[in-house]
Structure 1
Amino acid sequence: MQPVDLALCLAVDVSASVDYDEFGLMIGGLAGAFRAPDIAGACAAGPRGAVGVAVLFWSGAQDVAVPWMRVGGVAEAGALADAIENAPRLPAPGATALGPGMAAGLALLGRFAGEASRLVLDVSGDGAHNQGRPPGPVRDIGVAAGVTINGLAVLNEEPDLLGHYEAEVIGGPGAFAMHCADYADFADAIRRKLRREIMGGMVA
C-alpha cells in the first residue's frame, strides 16, 4: 500500500451484550460515516492524500471484518462503507474481552503493509472488560509502540463505562474518549470521533 497519513484500526464490540438490532445500528453508523462527504474529504486532506482503514470485530475472540483498505476520496470511502455493511458478524457473540480485543487491534496495526504518519486504534463498545488480559497493560504496550488509542463508550448497559475507558483503554498522543447514550446515537458519535481522529485531533 502507498504511504498514508493515518493507519486506523476500528475495533468494534460484537459481544453478547450487543443484540441484532444494536449491531445493525452500529455497522450502519460506521458505513454511513464513511459515506459522509466531510469524512471522505478528511481522508484525502492530509499531505499523503489518504488513510488506511481496517475493521476488527471482537468479543471473547476476534476476527478481521474488513482488511486494510486505502481511502483517498469519495469512491474509496464508499467502497469501504460497502465492505463494512457486508461484513458478517464474526466471531460469535461472547464475553467482553476488551484487553484481547485491543491486543488483536494492535497486532492488525502491526501488520499494516505500508508507511503511516500516525497509528490509531479506535475502540468502541458497551461494556467493561470481563475476560482475558486486562486492557490497561495492553494499552501501555500500544502506547510504547507509538499507537494512539481512543475510545467510544456506549452507555446503554453501563452508565459509568466512560470512566473505565478513560482509566484503562485510552492512551498515547492526543488520546481521547467519547460517549453516546445508546446505539441510536452511535452514528452521530462515531462520525464526530472519526473526523477528530482523521484530522489529527485539530477538530473540536
Structure 2
Amino acid sequence: MRWYVSIGAVLVAGMLAGGGVPGVAAPGPQAEPNERVVDKESTPSVDIELIIAVDVSYSMDMDELAVQREGYAQAIVSKEFLQALKAGPNGKISITYFEWAASNDQKIIIPWRVIDGPESADAVSAEIMKTPVRRASRTSISGAIYFAVPLFDENPHRGLRRVIDISGDGANNNGAPITPARDMALEKGIVINGLPIMVKEPSYSTMDIENLDWYYEDCVIGGPGSFVVSIKDREKFKEAIRTKLLLEVAGRTPERPVVRASDKEPRVNCMIGEKIWQDRWGR
C-alpha cells in the first residue's frame, strides 16, 4: 500500500501529539538470510536504516541545492525530529547521505552513522553543511537506486525498516530504466519514498516535466507505506523535507493521504525522461 501526499496535507504536530509514536514492525517481505551479512542477523539495533539520496543535477539551480542541503541539515537537529527519534523502540536510527546525478555519478557525503540524540544529530548536520555544494550533468534515479541498495549490506547496524529517500526535480533520463531498478529494491524488502521538487515551471532547457509528483508516485516509489511529499512552493522546501523525515523516522504514513494507490497503469510514461532526451539530442 502506498500513500501520496502534498506538504499541505500533513500535520506534523498532530502526528506526534499525545505521547510517543508507537514502534512499527518492519514492513514488506522479510529478507532472506543470505541478504544480510552475518553480524546483522541479531536483533535490530536501530529503528530504521535510512538512505538519503539527493539530486544535484544541473536542472537544480544553486539556490535550490543550497536550500535542499540546509533543509536536511536543519531537519535532523529539529526538536520534532529528535522527539520522533526517541519515540522509537530503539531510540536511534542509522543514516547515510549521498548526492547523485548521472548513472555513474554518486558521491557519499555522510557514510553510515547512528543518530541517537542531539549530539550525534548535530555532528551529522554540521558535516552535511560543511560539504561544498556541487552540480553535475544528467539525471539517473535508477543509478541512485542501484547505488543505494548495496549500501544496506555495508551498514553494521540492522534496522527494523530499510528506506531509500529520494529527492529530485526531474525524470530519469540516463542509465537503466527506472521501474526495473525500483522493482529490484522492492523485492529486497526496501521501501522507496520520494520528494519531487516542483518549484519551477517546466522548462525545455532543464528537461522538466509536468506532473513530476505523478511520475514519482507511479514510477519511483514503492513498498509498504511508501509515500510522496511534493514541493510546489519554494518557501515550504525545508518544511517538506522535515515532514518527510519525521514520517520516515516515526514509521508513519501521512495522516491525511490525498490518494490511496491502487494497482493501475501509470498516469505518466515511466520512460518520459529518456524519450525527451532522445527527441532533443538523438542519443
Q: TM-score range by the shorter chain?
A: over 0.9
Q: Higher strand share goes to which structure?
A: 1
TM-score when normalising by structure 1: 0.93
Match of 1:35 among 57, 68, 77: 77
Could you say if the C-alpha distance between residues 173 and 201 of structure 1 is closer, same or farther in structure 2, counting changes exceeding 3 Å? Answer: same
Matching of residue 136 in structure 1 with residue 175 in structure 2: no
Unaligned runs of 5+ in 2: 1-39, 203-208, 256-283
Residues 1:75 and 2:135 are matched in the alignment: no
- Whether contact under 8 Å (1:5, 1:51) holds in the other structure is yes
**Aligned-residue offset at 1:203:** 5.5
**1:22 is matched with which residue?**
64
Separation (CA, whole Å) in 2 of partners of 1:110 and 1:160: 34
**8 A Cα contact 1:143 1:172, kept in partner:** yes
Structure 2 equivalent of residue 176 of structure 1? 227
**What percent identity do the matched residue pairs reach?**
34
Q: Where does residue 52 of structure 2 map in the other structure?
A: 10
Q: Unaligned stretches of 5+ in structure 1?
A: none
* 1:84 matches 2:128: yes
**Higher RCO (CA-CA < 8 Å; seq separation 6+):** 2
Cα RMSD (Å) of the superposition? 1.7
- TM-score, normalisation: structure 2: 0.68
Q: Write the mapping of 1:1-204 to structure 2, written as runs, cut at 5 A.
A: 3-60=45-102, 61-89=105-133, 92-155=135-198, 156=200, 157=202, 158-201=209-252, 204=255
Secondary structure at the counterpart of residue 16 of structure 1: coil
Q: 2 CA distance for matches of 1:146 and 1:89?
A: 32
Q: Does structure 2 retain, via aligned residues, the 8 Å contact 1:105–1:121? A: yes
Per-residue CA deviations over 1:75-117 (Å, capped at 9, x if unaligned) read 1111111111122345x51101111012112222232112111
Q: Structure 1 residues 71 and 134, CA, compared in 2 at 3 Å: closer, same or farther? A: same
- CA separation in 1, counterparts of 2:55 and 2:238? 15
Distance 1:179 1:194 in 2: 13
The alpha-carbon deviation at position 202 of structure 1 amounts to 5.2
Residues 15 and 94 in structure 1, CA contact (< 8 A), matched pair in contact too: yes
Question: Are the aligned partners of 1:65 and 1:88 in contact in 2 as well (CA < 8 Å)?
Answer: no
Q: Helix, strand or coil: the match of 1:121?
A: strand
Secondary structure at the counterpart of residue 47 of structure 2: strand
Rg larger in structure: 2
- Provide the rounded CA distance (Å) in 2 between the counterparts of 1:29 and 1:49: 22
Post-superposition offset of 1:159: 3.7
Pairs aligned (count): 203
In the alignment, the residues of structure 2 paired with residue 127 and residue 110 of structure 1 have an alpha-carbon distance, to the nearest angstrom, of 28
CA contact (8 A) 1:41 1:74 kept: no
